Amino acid sequence: MSASTDTGGRVSEFGSAVADGWTRERFGLLGALGLILLAFGPSFQIYLFTDFLVVALFALGFNLLYGYTGLLSFGHGLFYAGGAYGVAIVLRDLGPVFADLVGSGISPLVTFVVGGVVGLALVVVVAVPVGWLSVRLEEIYFALITLAFGMLGYSLIIQDPAGLTNGTDGIIVLLGSVDIGGGSFRIGARRTYYALTVVVVLAATYGTWRVVNSPFGTVCKAIRESPDRASALGIDVRHHRWMTFIISAAIVGIAGVLRAGLASVASPGLTHWSTSAIAVIATVIGGATYFSGPIVGAFVFLYIRWGISRFPTLEAYWELFFGALLIGVVLYFKQGAVGGLLLLRDRLLGDGGGDADGGGDADGGETASSDERSRGTGATAPADDEARTDRGDNS
């Protein structure tokens, strides 16, 4: 009785929040409706949006290490591929075993779930020693050692050790059909896989959000702002970076599992540095200091790429357009697309960006400079940096 009362009360509160202007609840409800409606859209658009969700989760996991801890990795493709190869090997080698154990009707689903767990475990096993060695370095040296590990994994995969990875051809991923309760559905069907991806990505995103807003995430931000000060406060910086590295790799590994099912193949290219660069580019475009930055950046990255591909003449030079886009972002939107949108919103609403609550100070550095100029001082404003950080973390 009390449980139903609590549920009713929460539903009532949610309804009130939705009706009370453009609140987070209203955005959430509209987002959920959009995800449901998209399932009835054209098949290619479903595929493209599923691709976006996978890349968004990839960038989100990467940004836990980069945007929140201050470590730039160029080797996260290694963990992306780890998740993909884990599920691919299980589907290829253990599918018949699970068919004998649980029956052929449900075995494709069971094999895929077990493969996903194996892929995630494989990523964690790889991330533990790689992270332990990598976090001993900082800045450019950290980026270089992660790049080296990524390319080491690439070379190892194409060597086909023990016949596991099938060399340069990769492993074909066949998800199969599930027959249960008199009905049948194909896991790899676009709408089915889209629904599966939405559930997994939302759950992983919520988990990441909880990590970012937990005491663990607060320590990450403290390390990002000043490792020396964090260490002076008694924080084991190296150990914390190691744990963050492992969590970040695990999130990327989940994205890798989804990638294998979507692309129907686990290929060595997933380990290549150019794949790792996708997460970097999406994060820079969206804004590394905002939780939603990598998600927005992945959306911009994929849909601009798709828009360019609509014109064969432009398709041959799509790197040129992305180069120009990156130059524009780096020069004029240092807080990324999310920061630019928040700054635009605040200026349109007349808040100006200098208010006490962070005031849309997505472009906090520029606003701080303007304020300093207006006061005729040349001092930097650490308080504004804090406002930028807080705003980004809560976005």
Q: What percent of the chain has pLDDT over 70?
A: 86
CA separation, residue 244 to residues 220, 225, 277 (Å): 8, 15, 20
Look at residue 391 and tell me if it is in a domain. Answer: no
The region of weakest confidence among 34-48, 186-200, 359-373 is 359-373
Average pLDDT over residues 34-45: 77
pLDDT for the residue numbered 225: 87
pLDDT tens for 62-89 read 999 998 988 898 888 999 999 999 999 9
What's the structural domain count of the chain? 1
pLDDT for the residue numbered 187: 84
pLDDT at 359 over 90: no
Closest Cα to residue 287, out of 80, 68, 26, 140? 68
pLDDT at 351 over 70: no
Look at residue 194 and tell me if it is in a domain. Answer: yes
Look at residue 287 and tell me if it is in a domain. Answer: no
pTM of the model: 0.81
The region of weakest confidence among 143-157, 281-295, 296-310, 352-366 is 352-366
CATH code: domain of residue 230: 1.10.3470
pLDDT tens for 108-138 read 888 899 999 999 999 999 999 999 999 888 8
Q: Which two tokens stand for residue 183?
A: 């009905």
pLDDT at 357 over 60: no
Look at residue 208 and tell me if it is in a domain. Answer: yes
pLDDT for the residue numbered 5: 64
Look at residue 10 and tell me if it is in a domain. Answer: no
pLDDT for the residue numbered 120: 92
pLDDT tens for 105-116 read 888 888 899 999
The region of weakest confidence among 20-29, 195-204, 222-231, 330-339 is 20-29
Question: Which residue's structure tokens are 């994060």?
Answer: 283
The region of weakest confidence among 31-35, 116-120, 161-165 is 31-35
pLDDT at 368 over 70: no
Q: What is the H or E stretch that residue 172 is in?
A: strand 171-172
Look at residue 364 and tell me if it is in a domain. Answer: no
Look at residue 296 and tell me if it is in a domain. Answer: no
pLDDT for the residue numbered 364: 39
Domain with 151 in it: 22-271
pLDDT tens for 290-338 read 888 899 989 988 888 888 888 777 777 777 877 887 788 778 777 788 8
Look at residue 377 and tell me if it is in a domain. Answer: no
**DSSP category for residue 226:** -
pLDDT for the residue numbered 287: 85
